[in-house]
Structure 1
């Protein structure tokens, strides 16, 4: 809820909990005197299995979100700041995230994480498209995906 409300860090998530303590306790029927601190949020999120979370999210999204014919569906990959390993080498390894977005709904409908040394954005996008079975929609992708072998 904090992230959906614009919280972009651990401290912001803690502040969200403090601001909405009464409502969260009542709505979620919590029996706590204090909501998690920023360091607790940090520990929990660092231990989170992203692949499992993404899989669960995509299962939910495939049931809950239906794309419409001629809907615009942007797909883009972004590198995650602070994930570069081996920065001294010419070919650095970093983590990226590809997102498939429903413009009409204003929501991400699928995500996939990958490391640059193990696969590429091209491969991840092709895999996501095969898994999603989206038909009749208009995909928008950046220039990386404008290759003859991909268009056939």
Structure 2
């Protein structure tokens, strides 16, 4: 078994200046992951999650802070965070923690992210997409990757992810988009 999630998150480079850091980056990212799993969909919801679970989180992690991050702290961190680094580190942790079983069903699907469209209604339209690999048996996302529609396609991203994951003896489910002869 590999590292635990906290050790994995500690390997992500902290981009902030040393002065004024109140919380370690790994703690903020851990709260984002736990809050998201619990249904938090906004910065304020993440702050509320931290306030409600302060006692248990502080006790389990041995924290010395008097409170957990505010919504503005979450916003500032997530706006500047290298999402690819987080996704890669999280994916490595998932792969080292959960074994894939032969015959397991794995879904791959791409979705465009609402609110990311630039130049709508033109031939130059661009938007951010997210491709995720989901393991049905354990109900976890094995990997995810974002891309811009102008710079890449779902077909190529899925092919790259399949090569990187190196999964064997599993059943993949994909959209009809991926049933093309030339790919």
Q: TM-score, normalised by structure 1?
A: 0.93
RMSD: 1.3
What is the CA distance between 1:54 and its match in structure 2?
Answer: 1.6
What CA distance in whole angstroms lies between the structure 1 residues aligned with 2:94 and 2:54? 28
Of the three residues 99, 106, 111, the one matched with 1:73 is 106
What CA distance in whole angstroms lies between the structure 2 residues aligned with 1:94 and 1:62? 29
Which blocks of at least 5 consecutive residues in structure 1 are unaligned?
none
The aligned runs of 1:1-152 (5 Å cut-off) are: 1-87=34-120, 89-150=122-183
What CA distance in whole angstroms lies between the structure 2 residues aligned with 1:88 and 1:39? 33
Deviates more, 1:1-10 or 1:121-130: 1-10
Q: How many residues are paired up?
A: 150
Which blocks of at least 5 consecutive residues in structure 2 are unaligned?
1-33
Q: Secondary structure at the match of 1:55?
A: helix
What CA distance in whole angstroms lies between the structure 2 residues aligned with 1:105 and 1:144? 26
What CA distance in whole angstroms lies between the structure 1 residues aligned with 2:92 and 2:164? 11
Q: TM-score, normalised by structure 2?
A: 0.78
What CA distance in whole angstroms lies between the structure 1 residues aligned with 2:111 and 2:58? 36
